[in-house]
Chains A and B, each alone.
Chain A
Amino acid sequence: MTGADLSPAEQVERLQRRIVELERHFNALVHVVIPMGVGLLHSNGKEQLLEAILLEAKDLCHADGGTLYLRNDDDQLEFAIVRNRSLGLALGGSSGAPIDFAPLPLHDPATGAPNQRNVATHAALTGLTVNIADAYAAEGFEFSGTIAFDRRSGYRSTSFLTVPLRNNESRVIGVLQLINATDPESGRVVPFDAAVEPIVESLSTLAAAALEVYIREEKLRRQIRELHVRIDQDKRERQVAEITESDYFQDLQRRARDLRRRE
């Protein structure tokens, strides 16, 4: 439908809606996205920041649930932070509760085929934002992993807004996923408004930057923990022998021994 098909009143109404939408974007940028970017520059607690980003995105979209996944070195998406209001779930992050959900493989370990069965893995594999009104009815998708999760938890995953987190080399390093947008007035599950996508994407960019720092620190921590002291023992013996066989050293050794005995 183009503007030409609308009556003047409808056109005004449409413009008004557009203005409200832009104002909302503007407010979200000024009051949420930019302060978070500033927080990222100053914060040392990258984990808290990631959690704040997830919660902010969840509030912004009136989503019932939100999950932050991190891609690990084993080609899987690990659950890092999980929040779900109606399930009463608060796992990972500041909750302190461990997450025992198995990581989602990005590829079938046996066949190597890409795993399109979960919305999150699908977003990670394609690198694209996925906004679907109903995971059960989404055309061209077979989200059996998501449906299986629902069966276990008694949840009904309906609408999804799933945004891959890319680092500055465009590699997907995690996924930010919001589940079941709700109408603030009726409380009914509704699709995610396409207009919030750019804002959630901005938040995801920040989350990716925070993650990069976090991953780098974690890697460093691991390197330090696994400090390997490599000593070439042959070289060591050779060097020590060269010195200890000298007349100077043997004389010094004798004198030092005498000195200590006298003391």
Chain B
Amino acid sequence: MNIHYLFALFVALLCIFIPYAGVEFAHMQTFFGVFIPYLAIVIFTVGVISKMLSWVKRPVPFRIPTTCGQQKSLPWIKSNCIDNPSSFFGVILRMAFEILTFRSLFRNTKSTIKEGNKFSYEWEIFLWVGALAFHYAFFVTLFRHFRLFFENTPVCIQIVESLDGLMQIGLPIIYMSGIVLFFAACYLLFRRTYIPQVRYGSLSADFFPLFLIITIAGTGIYMRYFGKVDIVAIKELTAGIFSFSPKVPENVSSIFYIHLFLVCVLFAYFPFSKLMHAGGIFLSPTRNLANNSRIKRHINPWNPKVKIHTYEAYENEFREKMIEAGLPVEKEGA
């Protein structure tokens, strides 16, 4: 146990207690059901945009892609157009693979020393699997929830729902995404506490979002499969928020408010945290630039003026010696 872990746990528990107390004892349904979600949406939107702008407005002085394959050089040497792109199209491919399939994480290896002195590097797939499962499950779950904002569920959401519910065992339909999200987040928490190299540098900011998401997924699963929440009332509330005519129904249980509040905290926290990697990946100069700086000049907007030691100054210092050594000079014996 370290302070980072405990602090994150403490704040997460606080985030559970606040809406619970607020709804159960203070009856602040409108505050937690309407005000907080609006606030969170505003903070999220403004926060993400301003963070992205803060990155975009900063220059990229040099073209520094990390090249992970053969460059484009001689025509008979096959170049790796994805991992060492030389064109814009190649960059699009590289970024697409990076963002959609976590290509770099896929390379992960684990190093061990065998027989006392042999370094060995084995392919380590679990982080990749865990991360991919986590992100896709999160995305699908989030997407499914948009049904709560519409009176009539749009077709695209229906399709995702039916795909997500393919593994139907009984009623209600089991959505894989929620379950996968829960377990993937638990796995990520597990590896963060289990692997010494990861645990050692982990911060509250690493545990906190995991605690939030695990609880969000947990409460969501509870509400869907175990607790009897009034889904019609909830939809009335959420659709109301979305159509800017919020209504607060009476019979929504406090577990929903906990769920909602945690989601709001997550969204409001997003722009100020490492969660912004979701936006940052698009702007990482080692990934989003083509390795073509020998073909086409990359411009540095603040390219500094520097004073170079000129040939003239050089020859002035060494002229006699150069002449003696038979080296050509610009000015004979000046």
The answer to whether A and B come from one shared complex is no
Q: Which residues of B contact A (CB under 8 A)?
A: none
Q: Which residues of A contact B (CB under 8 A)?
A: none
